[in-house]
Structure 1
Amino acid sequence: MRSFWTEPFLWIHLAGLAACPLALELVWLGLAVGDPILPVWLEFFLVAAIGLGPILWMQLTRPFDIFSILIFALKPEQLTQEQRRLLSLFKTKTNRVITIAATVLLLWVLWQIYRVAPVAAPVVPLSPRWHFLGLLGAGLAFLISHLFLQVPVAVAQVLLTSESEFVAATPYPVEKIPQDFTVPGVRVNKILSLTAKEAATPSVPATSSSAELTADQE
């Protein structure tokens, strides 16, 4: 097992992939509100632009900082050298072709959802006159689904990095992290109660051990 696989933030964000289909279900419900008012291609483009554009731009220019959960993010100066090495890998190992391919795949999924949206119309709680609200909700849900696809895809690429490449990676400069990565939410000193190093190495009460050793020597 690679040493950096003990980093809990990697697995937390990889598991976020499970939220993608749930968000796509909300897209389906949003598109089912009322009948199209604008041309079909225009409504489809509107939802696609809201959901795909911001996340694709983020991942290609300032990748998502995985050392964050919900509305909290670790301050850059609180990251260990190993964690900053991982950030370097996100800059070098994330393949732009795969990132764009994931976007194209989600665009195809959106078109399939748009085609079958009328099937969900009977269960939508909103009145048909709220069609534009449904479109907006679908766009925001599509944005969330795209985020929960792209971040796990990037994490998966980093997880496939060899141990030698990880060790050779230079820790990302602390002062450049806010400029080169998207650091979401409120910055805090600590999020998880256990760091990767602490989780991998159980603590031993040094005081009692020293006392026992002294007693034995006597």
Structure 2
Amino acid sequence: MTPRSEPLLWLQLIGVGVLPLEALLLLLVLAGSDPGPLPGLERLLCWAIGALAPALLLMRRPADVWSLLLLQTPPKGRRELQRRLSRLQATPALTLATAVGAALGLPLLWWIDRQAAVASPVSPFSACPRLVALLLAALLLALMLWQWQQLFQSLWLLSRKPETVAGTAPLSLGELEQQRLSLGLPLLLPEPLLLPEPQKLSEPSAVVPVAVEPEQRTEKAEGTDLDQQVP
């Protein structure tokens, strides 16, 4: 019962490469409009809508680890291992990671908005009003925060030992609906990965030395000399 046999946990790690691309898209969105008379206030409101509010929700109801936002594994069709891992999501470490991700969203948004004028010639959102750009930026921040939490959850669960998973009670369907944020169509039914079992090295057979008494050695030696004298 190892978490490394679940393919969705490995699939969530794609967020490492997706997050920089979403930051680039955020730059292009903000580059399509000029900042208003109070750009600092606009950034604070955008961050509060796109990062702070979703962070409070995700700390209260963490994102379901078996949800890819658009698709998810049906709750009634989940394996026992998946339900055990769902209960292991409730840990203060993941709550702290979500809070850190929301806090990092503010300086990221602030820096990108200040540098957005550099990308204005290549931005496809050049005719976008400032309000629409800020709303799109808030949506991107919420998406980045979701993937940030999913990334840390996957790393956390992949590092759990099989003994820890086996000693954890499965999460019931009612607890899942009340304690987890499950989004997406219930269409994901991936099969577990077939991992090779560790081979146990066979112990070498112990050779017990047999002690030969001195009298037996003398008799064997005399017998050998007589055999050599006989033609």
For normalisation by structure 1, the TM-score amounts to: 0.80
User: Hey, what's the Cα distance between the residues in 2 that align with 1:96 and 1:175?
Assistant: 22
Correspondence for 2:194: 200
Correspondence for 2:19: 20
Query: CA 1:86–1:153 in structure 2 vs 1: closer, same or farther (change >3 Å)?
Result: same
Query: In the alignment, does 2:31 pair up with 1:32?
Result: yes
1:8-42 deviation line (CA, Å, top 9, x unaligned): 11111122232111111111112112221241111
Correspondence for 1:63: 62
User: Hey, what's the Cα distance between the residues in 2 that align with 1:116 and 1:103?
Assistant: 21
Query: In the alignment, does 2:106 pair up with 1:110?
Result: no
Structure 2, unpaired ranges of 5+: 197-231
Correspondence for 1:180: 179
What pairs up with 1:153-168 in 2 under 5 angstroms? 153-168=152-167
Query: CA 1:26–1:50 in structure 2 vs 1: closer, same or farther (change >3 Å)?
Result: farther
What pairs up with 1:106-145 in 2 under 5 angstroms? 106-127=105-126, 130-145=129-144
User: Hey, what's the Cα distance between the residues in 2 that align with 1:93 and 1:3?
Assistant: 22
Report the more deviating stretch, 120-129 or 52-61. 120-129
Identity of aligned residues (%): 29
Structure 1, unpaired ranges of 5+: 203-218
Quick one: which amino acid aligns to residue 134 of structure 2?
Answer: L
* Number of aligned positions between the proteins: 196
Query: In the alignment, does 2:45 pair up with 1:51?
Result: no
User: Hey, what's the Cα distance between the residues in 2 that align with 1:100 and 1:132?
Assistant: 26
Quick one: which amino acid aligns to residue 6 of structure 1?
Answer: S
User: Hey, what's the Cα distance between the residues in 2 that align with 1:106 and 1:36?
Assistant: 19
User: Hey, what's the Cα distance between the residues in 2 that align with 1:35 and 1:158?
Assistant: 43
For normalisation by structure 2, the TM-score amounts to: 0.76
User: Hey, what's the Cα distance between the residues in 1 that align with 2:38 and 2:123?
Assistant: 22
1:97-152 deviation line (CA, Å, top 9, x unaligned): 22212222232222221221111112123345622222222221222222222210
Larger Rg: 2
Correspondence for 1:206: none
Quick one: which amino acid aligns to residue 194 of structure 2?
Answer: A
Q: In angstroms, what is the RMSD of aligned CA positions?
A: 2.2
